[in-house]
Amino acid sequence: MSYEVMVGNKAAATACKLARVQVASAFPITPQTTITQYLSEMYAAGEWDFDFVNVEGELTSQVVVQAASRVGARTFTCTSGPGLLYMHHPMQTTGSARLPVVMAIVHRGYKGMQPDHSDLMSQQWTGWGHQYVEHAQEILDSLLMAYKVAEDPRIRIPIAVGYDGYVLSYTAEPVEIPEQEVVDKWLPPYKAMPSVLPDEVDPSTFARGWGGGDPQMPWKVHHEAVLKIEDVLKETMDSFEKTFGRRYGNGMIEPYMMEDAECAIMAMGTIAGTCKAAVEKMQSEGKKVGLIKLRSFIPFPVKDLQEWAKKLDGFAVVDRSVCPGKGGPSYGKLRDSLYDLEEKPVTLQFHAGLGGKEVRIRDFEMIGEKILKAAKGGTVEQVTWV
């Protein structure tokens, strides 16, 4: 193995090289642009045998990798913010056809140029797996694992790996690069499979029920396949640790300093790293607050969070996005997950970091203070904008 100080976008491009991606297609958009640049340079230098397809827009880049995946190529694309919104239509087809495309989303909000999670959160119904990562090493590792998960014959679902624009895309960090031979052994070549899996779907019921049969069946099969990501991701995380010596919780969540915690802050992306520093400070002061980093948003870690809920007095959920008129996406999913429990911890909703706003250690200390107070029966705001 070797080390290199690299920006997050180069970590993403390096993961493509290690995975021996065969077809990549992308259209540059800030702050994703340099992934496209790095892939173009790697292609021009002949660093490995792959095709890089230049296109006139993000919609087309998604269609290109769809077609390549259908004929048996390992594929990659990437985008940010408005570019992802432009991809929305073909993303539905990629999910419905169960094509194991892997895509990096370099977060950029749709109300400005700065990062928040509103771009990927807007794609919840496209039938993809959604993962959120914290730092450059996790970008590289998560993209490698995404291929292992997406191409697993039990699921064959496309995976989107999101990371915060600017904060990670253009910030350099030390990254451990595994040996190509080791990656090749752990991630064997992609084996093409038909878009419709004959052991699961009667072809007469596919494509919105045309030709008779139950028109709901394609939706049911697709939904169940996405849920299966949880088991495959956990297996993949165990395998990744055994091979490369790193792990991120169980793949779905990554608890931090939760051993004696009475309350947990749940956060995702780069602000989870800031939260770690705040948790260390709070626990040094005797405040029993830990962190549960949410890595998988789709599927949501219902079982894991229900188990933690039985041990905790409170959850403070920090969303770097908001569904206007409804609230925080992960807050709503957590509340749904805990609905059937007889005894539920107090849950508070926080919105932080939207439009690129800085989220500081003292902000997380305030969040910790509020959930501790609420867990003891104190009166606090149910929704807080940080």
Domain boundaries, the chain: 2-244, 253-385
Q: What is the pLDDT of residues 200-224, one digit of tens each?
A: 555 554 444 444 566 777 788 899 9
Q: What is the pLDDT of residue 216?
A: 77
State yes or no: pLDDT of 300 exceeds 80. yes
Other residues' Cβ atoms within 10 Å of the Cβ of residue 336: 11
Q: What is the pLDDT of residue 204?
A: 52
* E strands, the chain, in order: 2-7, 23-26, 51-54, 75-79, 102-107, 129-132, 159-164, 172-177, 253-256, 263-267, 289-294, 296-298, 314-319, 346-351, 383-385
C-alpha span between 71 and 103 (Å, rounded): 18
Distances (CA, A) of 160 to 79, 107, 110, 375: 10, 11, 18, 35
Q: What is the pLDDT of residue 208?
A: 47
Q: What is the pLDDT of residue 196?
A: 52
Output phi, psi for 375, to 5 deg: -65, -25
242 burial type by CB count under 10 A (0-12 exposed, 13-18 middle, 19+ buried) = exposed
* Residue with tokens 């045309």, as numbered in its chain: 210
Q: What is the pLDDT of residues 88-121, one digit of tens each?
A: 999 999 998 899 999 999 999 989 899 999 999 9
State yes or no: pLDDT of 235 exceeds 90. yes
Q: Which two tokens stand for residue 297?
A: 């948003």
Q: Once rounded to an integer, what is the mean pLDDT over residues 265-288?
A: 98
Q: What is the pLDDT of residue 195?
A: 59
Single-letter amino acid, residue 341: L
State yes or no: pLDDT of 307 exceeds 90. yes
Encode 76-94: b = buried (16+ Cβ within 10 Å), e = exposed.
bbbbbbbbbebbeebbbeb
Same fold for the pair 2-244 and 253-385 = yes
Q: What is the pLDDT of residue 143?
A: 98
Per cent of the chain over pLDDT 90 is: 88
The closest alpha carbon to 176, from 246, 268, 242, 239, belongs to: 246
Give pTM, 2 decimals. 0.95
State yes or no: pLDDT of 351 exceeds 60. yes
CB 315 within 8 A of CB 348: yes
Could you tell me which residues come within 8 angstroms of residue 300 by beta carbon, excluding any fewer than 6 positions away?
330, 333, 337
The closest alpha carbon to 271, from 304, 316, 302, belongs to: 316
C-alpha span between 146 and 104 (Å, rounded): 10
User: DSSP class of residue 323?
Assistant: B
State yes or no: pLDDT of 33 exceeds 90. yes
Q: What is the pLDDT of residue 211?
A: 45
Res. 27 pLDDT band, cuts 50 70 90: very high
Q: How many residues would you count in the chain?
A: 386
State yes or no: pLDDT of 193 exceeds 80. no
C-alpha span between 107 and 297 (Å, rounded): 15
Q: Once rounded to an integer, what is the mean pLDDT over residues 181-201?
A: 77
Q: Once rounded to an integer, what is the mean pLDDT over residues 336-359?
A: 96
* Residue with tokens 């800030």, as numbered in its chain: 30
The architecture in CATH of the region 253-385 reads 3-Layer(aba) Sandwich (3.40)
Could you tell me which residues come within 8 angstroms of residue 233 by beta carbon, excluding any fewer than 6 positions away?
129, 145, 149, 251, 252, 296
Q: What is the pLDDT of residue 9?
A: 98
C-alpha span between 168 and 104 (Å, rounded): 12
Q: What is the pLDDT of residue 209?
A: 44
State yes or no: pLDDT of 183 exceeds 90. yes
The architecture in CATH of the region 2-244 reads 3-Layer(aba) Sandwich (3.40)
Res. 40 pLDDT band, cuts 50 70 90: very high
Q: Once rounded to an integer, what is the mean pLDDT over residues 354-372?
A: 97
Q: Once rounded to an integer, what is the mean pLDDT over residues 168-174?
A: 97
Query: What is the 3-state secondary structure of 278-305?
Result: HHHHHHHCCCCEEEEEECEEECCCHHHH
C-alpha span between 135 and 316 (Å, rounded): 22
Could you tell me which residues come within 8 angstroms of residue 28 by beta carbon, excluding any fewer than 6 positions away?
36, 37
